[in-house]
Copies of this chain bind each other. A is one copy, B any other.
């Protein structure tokens, strides 16, 4: 591989084991890292983990090399921040192609890199001292593309960090014994995902899945705690976010407990109509609506038809447009 890459104009540095590889990466800061998963001593996951804890090496694209025979935990790798997997046997062309697409994608993500910086900067609005410090703290954040329906993390996974959604839409949900899923959050750009799990324990308490193709930025666990401890503004924002969230959940709890599905669905529609880009027209699956309101998807269909005939909403294809916002709000039980 070293030879092939050298012929093609790449400059290659080698390390004979995991520990030396980490040291080399920290010293030389390469443009990309290729790393085997199965290694004696420190394995690939550990290498990745270590490099991601350091802000100077966290943003370097990281590609795992793995054998077909090995049972590879792709999910684990993706979650802790691997960018790609190269499965042996692969020929020279495949190798080069993989690296090229990786570099190409990195370029695309640069745009979002700036965006994530702006979002994070917002957190410290008004705080002059230490802003330079924040820059170095957040310099090492990792930007990741998530395809539609791809899982960001599963309930029970180790909470590796906090996700900042830059583009797209991500839902978090829990699954009940009977297989129904309840949507807990529907995140839009600039929202934080997994904050509560990160702050309360070691593992995620819900599953996060991309509703549409999305771009997220992963802030590693340590970085988040650093931010909270060193930046009072961020601290305050997080506290405020959590406290507001609790109030909202209390309201939802009340709704779930004592209101008809009609009312619940109307509230869900209103909740959706605020944050989304086009405030009155949006596309969402019945399944998802059902998950948000805690009802069966068939019932959603029925009620939406009722709402339509009552002139509250309009259906444009599978899109929904809210017509009578006021009357929807005043919905009786």
Q: Select which of B244, B247, B250, B333 is within 8 A of A178 by beta carbon.
A: B333
Contact of A200 with B240 at beta-carbon distance under 8 Å, contacts A176-B254, A258-B180, A294-B257 already known: yes
- In the complex, the chain B residue whose C-beta lies closest to that of A235 is B235
- The answer to whether A124 has its CB under 8 Å from any CB of chain B is no
Q: Is the CB of A196 within 8 A of B252?
A: no
Q: Select which of B197, B198, B243 is within 8 A of A200 by beta carbon.
A: B243
How far apart are A201's CB and chain B's nearest CB, in angstroms?
7
Cα–Cα distance between A254 and B242 once the two chains are bound (Å): 19
Q: Is the CB of A254 within 8 A of B196?
A: no
C-beta contact mask, A252-294 vs B, less than 8 Å → 1, else 0?
A: 1110111100000000000000000000000000000000001
Chain A interface residue count, CB cutoff 8 Å, equals 42
- The answer to whether A206 has its CB under 8 Å from any CB of chain B is yes
Cα–Cα distance between A180 and B254 once the two chains are bound (Å): 9
- The answer to whether A137 has its CB under 8 Å from any CB of chain B is no
Cα–Cα distance between A174 and B257 once the two chains are bound (Å): 11
Q: Is the CB of B250 within 8 A of A184?
A: yes
Q: Is the CB of B247 within 8 A of A196?
A: yes
Q: Is the CB of A199 within 8 A of B239?
A: yes
Cα–Cα distance between A229 and B239 once the two chains are bound (Å): 11
- The answer to whether A205 has its CB under 8 Å from any CB of chain B is yes
List B contacts of A256 (CB < 8 A): 253, 256-257, 294
Cα–Cα distance between A148 and B235 once the two chains are bound (Å): 37
How far apart are A322's CB and chain B's nearest CB, in angstroms?
21
- The answer to whether A245 has its CB under 8 Å from any CB of chain B is yes
How far apart are A296's CB and chain B's nearest CB, in angstroms?
10
How far apart are A55's CB and chain B's nearest CB, in angstroms?
22
Contact of A250 with B199 at beta-carbon distance under 8 Å, contacts A229-B232, A333-B177 already known: no
- The answer to whether A238 has its CB under 8 Å from any CB of chain B is yes
Q: Which residues of A contact B (CB under 8 A)?
A: 174, 176-178, 180, 182, 184, 195-201, 205-206, 228-229, 232, 235, 238-240, 242-247, 249-254, 256-259, 294, 332-333
Can you sample 10 A-B contacts with CB below 8 Å?
A182-B254, A199-B240, A199-B242, A199-B243, A200-B247, A228-B239, A229-B232, A235-B235, A239-B239, A256-B257
